[in-house]
Amino acid sequence: MSRVALVTGAARGIGAATVSRLVADGCHVLATDSCEGPPLATREQLEEVAERHGDQVICRVVDVRDRRALEEAAAEAVRTWGRLDVAVAAAGVVRGGRPLWETSDGDLQDLWEVVAKGVWNTAAATVPAMLAGPDPHGCRFVAVASAAASQGLFHLAAYNATKHAVVGIVKGLAADLVGTGVTASAVSPGSTDTEMLRATAALYDVPVDELVHHQLIRRVIDPDEIAAAIAFCASPAGGVVNGSVLHADGGFEG
């Protein structure tokens, strides 16, 4: 019986690439996104992701700030395919461009709600279904963190803080899961070719290419490359990456 995954932030970028990679690995996927429209993704983009994969993927509009909606999505995956083995928390937003002391409460609040609490809500909504399913030892929770989860990136203090929180959530979750077989990890991408990277370059008012100077590979990463790292962590073999971070950043020159 094929494994079943739930992916947040799945309408575009790293989330959409992860859906494709998980399907290629034989998973059924419930692809979710808030679909708030520009500058975030649209409902049409989410539907296109699902259409590309026929009956392997169904999509639902779900905001990660809404724990009940995530619980309903997890329940739907179980009703539809009989199990839930994987959750990938890829949804995210970026705010910044000012020093910490000039960062607004609104920006900090947005980042806390989506980046940190969104990952928390995704774990809270999906892990119980994994524990109750047929193969907890094959179940994986994977959060998409960032180089900002281990570095202090310039003029991104609130983003740095909430991405560090994502790693804290994964470590705490892995500790709580000892003995169950379910594992939890984070993947930290470097500068990856998505709308968020373009939004980050706009915050600094620099071309995107300037953001790759810290990467030893000296190029922008393709979302499919990050999806491959996420898919490994989400695989049965990926259980070895537990309570820790896979740095998928091409080497960070700090």
Q: Which is nearer to ligand NAD, 191 or 235 (CB)?
A: 191
Reduce the DSSP state of residue 69 to 3 states and report it.
Answer: helix
The CB-of-91 to ligand NAD minimum distance in angstroms stands at 3
Q: Which is nearer to ligand NAD, 14 or 229 (CB)?
A: 14
The CB-of-174 to ligand NAD minimum distance in angstroms stands at 19
The type of residue at 58 is I
Alpha-carbon distances of 69 from 3, 16, 74, 225, rounded to whole Å: 22, 20, 9, 30
Known catalytic residue at 159? yes
The CB-of-122 to ligand NAD minimum distance in angstroms stands at 9
Q: Which is nearer to ligand NAD, 83 or 146 (CB)?
A: 146
Q: Which is nearer to ligand NAD, 139 or 144 (CB)?
A: 144
Q: Using CA atoms, how far apart are residues 171 and 33, in angstroms rounded to an integer? A: 25
Q: Are 251 and 215 in contact (CB under 8 A)?
A: yes
Q: Which is nearer to ligand NAD, 126 or 194 (CB)?
A: 194
Residue 69 token pair: 């909606």
Which residues lie across from 186 on neighbouring strands? 143, 245
Catalytic residue among 81, 141, 159, 232: 159
Q: Are 123 and 87 in contact (CB under 8 A)?
A: yes
Reduce the DSSP state of residue 226 to 3 states and report it.
Answer: helix
Q: Which residue is nearest to ligand NAD (CB)?
A: 13
The sign of the CA dihedral 95, 100, 103, 108 is positive
Q: Which is nearer to ligand NAD, 15 or 96 (CB)?
A: 15
The CB-of-7 to ligand NAD minimum distance in angstroms stands at 10
The CB-of-196 to ligand NAD minimum distance in angstroms stands at 3
The CB-of-35 to ligand NAD minimum distance in angstroms stands at 6
The sign of the CA dihedral 198, 201, 207, 208 is negative
Strand segments (E) across 23-134 = 28-33, 57-61, 86-89
Residues that bind ligand NAD (CB under 6 A): 8-9, 11-15, 33-34, 40-41, 63-65, 90-93, 114, 118, 144, 146, 189, 191-192, 194-197
Order of all β-strands in the sheet with 28-33: 57-61, 28-33, 4-8, 86-89, 140-144, 183-189, 244-248
Catalytic residues: 159
